[in-house]
Chain A
Amino acid sequence: MRLKRGSVAVVGAAESDLGLVAPHTSPLDLMAQGTIRALEDAGLKLSDVDGLFAAATQVRMGPMALAEYLRIKPRFFDGTIIGGSSFMTHVAHAQAAIEHGLCEVAVIAYGSTQRSVSRAAASPREYNYYESPYRPILPISAYAMAAARHMHQFGTTREQLAEVAVAARKWALMNPKAWEKEPLTIEQVLNARMVSYPFTVRDCCLVVDGGGAIVLTSAARAKSLKKKPAYVLGVGEALSHATISNMPDLTVTAAAESGPKAFAMAKLEPADVDMLSLYDAFTITPILFLEDLGFCPKGEAGRFVSDGAIAPGGKLPVNTSGGGLSYCHPGMYGLLVMIEAIRQVRGECGERQVPDCKVALAHGNGGVLSSQCTVIFGSEDAL
């Protein structure tokens, strides 16, 4: 049994308030706000929701807590939590549930107040005897070691990593919702405070509050709703490890499994993709994902992103929202990764809109390059 290309669509998408929210705002307040905004976007009501998906580091039992808050009784629910890619997994699981008639209108929600309460409080690390004594700053040091290995094997440079941050900033300046409002140069990235070599603080994602929700339903029902549907053409999920000590090759992620699965289901290939929304927790991650998803050969993405290739006006639009590096990163950013891809396919991105965007790929990453999940969205023209 396989999921069917285009059987479901995203019909509503919205962020909660982002950035820094008022004292005592809870992650559930943000989830609920995102849910109601996404339902309004779709032209649906809370009483239409019969599938509920939620994950948050501050809410251990997401679907239960959100169902209580909203006082709804979903027929189907799932709180899979595998880090930032949790929500891509929820899309795949929601699609399966909708295809099998287990629910018809599914909400996927997220919320975090990590800027307000601190990252340490929002995402406390589990003690691990085999890693904790060495005091890596996790997850940063894990990604830093992946970057160091990529630099060693393929000659990738810190300047090429910085290109990713600079491109993200240029896109962010076209997104009114982006946290960062000032231009950024390669020199500024390189000369910023070193956190875990080779990463300065500008190689690392933002630490802000935020959340949101998306609404999925069957393709048949999507046609009668308010907005142009963003069809789910392909999904792929893969796990490779939980701790960085156990990642087989630090230069190859399981996106090399999730991507081909998603492309096979979508009956598409990388050349068909009009824009990419890649989880940029750190500047190395879009580099790894461009390679592992098939947009350039292994080892080449440092050179691929050079000279503004993924910035506005470049050859391949990547992270047009400004990404986790410059737009918003509340901790598990995958939901917002998808929201930008959905908006591009709907043609709602204003100044930063990719012309004639029919196919957008959203790729989620979780843990320490541990979980990789790919979702390919398409407009009606791509069906």
Chain B
Amino acid sequence: MTGWRLADGGPVIPNFGHGGECLRDNGWLCTSWVRQHWGDILQPALVQHIELTLIAVGIGFAIAFLLALVGFRWRVFDPPLGAFTDILYTIPSIALYQLLVPVTGLTVTTIEIALVSYTLFVLYRNIVAGLRAVPPEVLESARGMGLTRRQTFLRVELPLAAPAILAGLRVATVATISIATVAAFLIYYGLGGPIFDALGQPDIFRTELLASGGLAIFLALSADALLALLQRALTPWSRLR
């Protein structure tokens, strides 16, 4: 089993000697350890985690958007595309990581491919649903006023679908942040690294678990809040209804 290489890059046994009483008692959150290892463990893991998420959501959004354009424009493609993203979504993440390893190896690429495939489901569904939800009378007036198909899409359908699209982006981002922690099952990367590390200790290194897990939760919450703010700023009209 190649998966258990999680501890490759991280300290397997924390240095209890310098940690003081808190660490000797395996306390819940020893600030001295957090301060000491912010620079070499927590911060790099956090940055990696943000990178993983941004790339996955970015690529996922681009792919989902193109698929959604096809599914929206030609209705016959919608069911198969929906089913495709659905199937990808139902594969358990650990199983998907293992399926990919023979192809792409123990690399960040493997993780990204898995993460991207999970975002497709939510993003595809929300983009198509948002575009479809534009009221028929709005489309008729657009056509009647002489907007071309392209103008109708860019000026009417897309902006009206924005709330649904941004809602999908929120769910996809938060889900990616959470699923990305499992990536450390494969290689020591992202906040999952120190989390698995702490769990791998004989009686769980509580401070490391809480610090890295806490960062993942904090990251998810801030991403959600940021996207919610973006949604409000971009679609001020959507709260009026």
Partners in one complex: no
